[in-house]
Each structure stands twice: as structure tokens, then as C-alpha cells.
């Protein structure tokens, strides 16, 4: 049943793994959840109707990119991104903080102002302040908004990380003021601090004092090892609020997700299913399959014999190998759809295993398969 106001319910736990449900006015989200990434209002190469059929309950859009194209004027004419892209379910928007890092050559940070960008499209000067980020997300009409933060590149320099926390906390306060008292939507804070537990705890404490609807772990999946990521997640999740969603941003492979669920994370997003699909890499219950490989040239078997989406079970690995070698767009579309569908199957099985208290068995079976 839909609820008008945003809320989260923790249903059960198996050790640290959590089974829950997020309630929004546009629909509910079973957690642990994976969010397909629709940076520009499209999950690359996929029809919205097909994304729904995979069981996806929420997708992610990006504040910085949607600000540039199509722009808030157009989005506001459609009352937001949902109607514009024909997706009536919940949307979470990244604040633009990741682009501060990924497009660092095109911007500079002024703590009092925000991030000052040179547009990667036309070179124009763009100021993305904390207030502006929230205003854009309101124009997008997203259901879960993220604070604007400073996400440093991978570093062991504590001074850089401490400075980023200071900036992120100040910006988080400004985002909360601009967000206002909106019960139908949610605003998440983002924990920074690199690989240092004390800095992560410092960031979390400062964010808890501001009081957000959920908390994200940022600044990971930026080049650290999987072991370092799991260790960092473990050291912070045990201190995060039990009654609010926990979101690990930009992660990742099925084993990344599985390891983070094992430490109590509820939400994930990553471009990997579709980006891999465009390069011929498929995720299956037997592991990763590189369909470019000549070994699949004469393979009559499908990627998933039980998948009826777009008749995927009727396409052989041989045919997909042929499409890839012929540079046909259909290859990336079919493999991307398969990958998103697999990720949602994977999340569904994770939830079932937590409910049945067999998660440890599931974890041990699959944790190393996708490395």
C-alpha cells in the first residue's frame, strides 16, 4: 500500500543483513534494492516499459546532467522527470557531487558559493550551489533528493578528507534549509571520510545532528580495493541509525552488492549493468560471460532460458556474439536488458534469503563468483 509521506520500515535481519521497505507516494521499494542509473532521464538502450518488467522499483537521475539537458524549464513544464520520461515510479537524484570529482578539471570549489563548473557541453560557466542543487532536484520532482557534497578522489591525505567533510557538512546544512519541511519527499545526507573510520564517524555525527531521512556512504568505489571498501562499510554501518535507509553510492558488481548487504546496506546504484551490456559483458547465475569471446560463436544456449522479456530466452549466445562483432545496436540493448533483469533477480533472491534466514549460505555461494 502506498503512503503519502516518505517512511522506512525495517522488517527483519539476518545477522547484519537487513530486509526492509521504503514507502513513497509513487510506490514502495523493497530493500535491499538496486536502482538502475538513468543519468539523463534514460537507462541507456532500454525502454521504460521493459525496465518496469524487470521488477525495478526506483531509478536514479542526475542533477548536474539534467540541469544542462533538457534543463529545468522543460522539466517543469512536465511537472518533473516522471511524466517527461514516462516513469511513474520513484526517482532518486544524485546531487551533482560526484561530478565535482569526475569533472574536476572543469570545476573549482568555493565553500561559500558551491562548485563552479565550466560546462562540458558548451564551456559556459555554471554555479552549482547547495541551494541550486536542491532547487534543480525539486524541478526534477524526485522522490529522494541527495545533499550536495564534496567527494574527494581516493587519497590517504587526512587533511584533504577533513576539509571535504567540513565542506560537505556546511553544504548539507544549507541543503536541509532549502529542502524545507517536505514530508512527501526525502533528503539523504552523504557520509565522507575516505578509508578512515574516525573521519567517517565524524562525518556521520555531524549529519545526524542535522537529521536526514536516510544516510548514504559516499566516496567509495573510487579506486580502492573491494576488501578496503567492505572494511570501510563495516566500520560505519554499525553506527548508522537502524530506522533509516542506508545507501552505498555507485556500487557495483553483484559481489560488491552482496558484501555490502552483508554489512547492513539497503540501497545501491551503478551503471555497470548497462555499461557492461554495451561492451558485450553479461552477468548470469554462472558468473560473468564475455560474449565477444570466440567460444560463444557456436553456442546455441540463451543467457537465461527462463527470461521472457523481449523474448530474450530465444536469442542464443551465438547470435549475440554475431551482433557484437557486427557492431549492431541490438547487441547492447539485449545484453543491457538481460543484465538489469539479472540484477533485479539477484536482489530478489537476496531479500528471500534474508527473510528465510539463509543469507549466509547465499553469500558464501556467490561472493567470489563475480570478482
Number of Cβ within 10 Å of residue 368's Cβ equals 10
For cell 521497505, the residue is: 21
In terms of phi and psi (left: phi > 0; alpha: psi -120 to 50; beta: otherwise), the region of 254 is alpha
Q: How far is CA 203 from CA 42, 47, 96, 148, 312, in A?
A: 33, 39, 19, 14, 45
- The catalytic residue among 50, 266, 269, 304 is 269
Cα gap 215→225, rounded to integer Å: 23
Under 8 Å between Cβ of 98 and 92: no
Q: Identify whether 256 is a catalytic site residue.
A: no
Q: Identify whether 94 is a catalytic site residue.
A: yes
Helix (H) or strand (E) holding 140: helix 130-140
Under 8 Å between Cβ of 92 and 35: yes
Cα gap 8→10, rounded to integer Å: 7
- The catalytic residue among 50, 94, 213, 256 is 94
Active site amino acids: 94, 269
Amino acid at each position: 500500500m502506498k503512503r503519502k509521506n516518505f517512511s522506512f520500515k525495517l522488517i527483519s535481519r539476518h545477522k547484519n543483513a537487513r530486509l526492509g521497505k521504503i514507502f513513497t507516494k509513487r510506490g514502495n521499494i523493497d530493500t535491499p534494492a538496486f536502482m538502475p542509473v538513468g543519468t539523463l532521464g534514460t537507462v541507456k538502450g532500454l525502454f521504460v516499459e521493459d525496465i518496469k518488467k524487470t521488477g525495478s522499483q526506483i531509478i536514479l537521475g542526475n542533477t548536474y546532467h539534467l540541469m544542462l539537458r533538457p534543463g529545468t524549464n522543460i522539466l517543469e513544464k512536465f511537472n518533473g522527470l516522471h511524466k517527461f520520461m514516462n516513469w511513474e515510479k520513484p526517482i532518486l537524484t544524485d546531487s551533482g557531487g560526484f561530478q565535482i570529482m569526475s569533472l574536476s578539471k572543469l570545476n573549482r570549489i568555493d565553500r561559500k558559493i558551491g562548485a563552479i563548473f565550466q560546462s562540458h557541453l558548451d564551456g559556459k560557466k555554471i554555479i552549482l550551489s547547495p541551494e541550486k542543487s536542491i532547487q534543480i532536484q525539486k524541478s526534477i520532482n524526485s522522490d529522494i533528493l541527495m545533499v550536495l557534497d564534496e567527494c574527494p578522489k581516493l587519497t590517504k591525505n587526512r587533511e584533504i578528507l577533513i576539509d571535504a567533510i567540513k565542506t560537505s557538512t556546511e553544504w548539507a546544512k544549507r541543503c536541509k534549509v532549502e529542502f524545507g519541511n517536505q514530508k512527501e519527499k526525502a533528503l539523504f545526507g552523504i557520509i565522507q571520510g575516505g578509508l578512515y573510520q574516525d573521519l567517517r564517524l565524524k562525518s556521520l555525527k555531524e549529519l545526524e545532528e542535522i537529521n536526514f531521512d536516510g544516510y548514504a556512504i559516499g566516496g567509495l568505489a573510487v579506486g580502492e580495493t573491494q576488501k578496503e571498501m567492505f572494511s570501510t562499510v563495516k566500520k560505519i554501518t554499525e553506527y548508522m541509525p537502524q530506522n533509516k535507509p542506508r545507501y552505498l553510492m555507485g556500487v557495483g558488481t553483484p559481489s560488491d552488492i552482496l558484501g555490502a548487504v552483508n554489512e547492513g546496506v539497503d540501497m545501491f546504484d551503478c551503471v555497470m549493468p548497462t555499461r557492461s551490456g554495451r561492451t558485450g559483458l553479461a552477468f548470469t547465475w554462472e558468473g560473468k560471460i564475455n560474449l565477444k569471446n570466440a567460444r560463444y560463436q557456436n553456442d546455441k544456449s540463451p543467457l537465461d532460458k527462463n527470461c521472457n522479456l523481449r523474448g530474450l530466452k530465444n536469442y542464443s549466445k551465438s547470435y549475440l556474439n554475431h551482433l557484437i562483432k557486427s557492431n549492431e545496436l541490438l547487441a547492447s540493448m539485449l545484453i543491457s536488458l538481460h543484465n538489469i533483469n539479472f540484477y533485479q533477480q539477484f536482489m530478489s533472491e537476496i531479500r528471500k534469503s534474508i527473510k528465510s534466514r539463509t543469507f549466509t549460505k547465499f553469500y558464501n555461494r556467490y561472493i567470489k563468483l563475480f570478482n
